[in-house]
Structure 1
Amino acid sequence: MNTDISIHRATAEDTQEIAVMVGELLEEIMDAIGVQVFNFDLDQTKTRLDDLLGREKYFVFVARSEGKPAGFVALYESYALYAEGAFGSLPELYVRPAYRASGLGRRLVSEAKSFGMSRGWTRLEVTTPPLPQFDRTLAFYEREGFTVTGGRKLKVTL
C-alpha cells in the first residue's frame, strides 16, 4: 500500500466513487450487527450527493492513494442553542480496509476539524454505529479528542 495519500474537498467528479464507498460502509455496519437497517441504492445516493454538494449543504473530503479512493469524511452544518450556535455533524467517515491502521482516519478527522474551525463551528459531533460491535470505532473517536456526551441516537421515519 502506498503511503502517499492526498486529501481534497470533493467535487461532482468524485460523487460516483464516494457513493460506492457509502455502500461499502453501510454494508459493513449491517454485516456486523446482522440487521438490514439501511436501504442503499447507488444511483439514488449519487444523485443525492450531487445535489447536496452542489447546494453546499454537505461537505466531503476524499482521500486518494495513487489516484484511487481510499476513504472519505462527510460533514454538514447544524445549529443548536446548547452548542452555542453553528457546529458540525460528521455523519460518515469511512476508510477502506486496506488503508486502516495507516493513520488515514486520523488525517480525515483532522481535515474535518480544520474545515470546522474555518467555518466558525463551536464543535464537531459524531454518532458511532451500534455498540458493542463498533467499540473500536468509539475508541478511535475518543483518541481523536471526541468525548461521550450521553444518550443514544434515535429516529422516527416520516
Structure 2
Amino acid sequence: MTTTLDTAIHASDRLKIYKAAPELLDAMMNLSAASAKDVEPELGELIKIRASQINRCGFCLNMHLVDARKHGVSEQKLDVLAAWEEAGDIFTERERAALALTEAITHVSHGVPDDVYDRAAAVFTERELAQVIAMAVTINAWNRINVTVHQHVPRR
C-alpha cells in the first residue's frame, strides 16, 4: 500500500524534465504562444482550466486560475466551470462551444462529435477555431507532462 509520505518521497525523485531537455520547454512555450494569438485571454484561461480540471493537473489549475483572475474572469464563472453545461447563461455561446470542444479533445478516445465541432465552427472564424483546437491540445500536453513528473503547486 502506498502512503502519502511514500508518494511525496517518490515525487521528489521524478525527472526534472525541463532541466533534462530545455528545448522541450521552448517548444511548448512557442506552441502556447502560437495557439493564443487570436483567442481572447479570458476564453483561453477557461479552456486551460477546464482541461486541467479533467486531467487533475494541480500545477496548471493553480497557474491558470491566477491568470484567469488577472484577466478579469468572474469568480462565478470560475466557481461553476466544472459544471458549465448546467450553469445557464453564465457562459457565452463562444465559451460554451469552446468548453464543449475542449472536453471532447481532452477525452479524445471518445472522438470529437460532429455536433460539438460544428457548434464551435459556427461561432469561431477558421483561424480562431484552429487556435482554440491548438490551445486545447497544448494544455493537454502541459497537463500530461506535469502530471507525469509530479510538478508541484508552488505555495503562495
- Larger-Rg structure: 2
Question: Structure 1 length normalisation: TM-score?
Answer: 0.26
Higher relative contact order (CA 8 A, sep 6+): 2
Structure showing the higher helix proportion among its residues = 2
Structure showing the higher strand proportion among its residues = 1
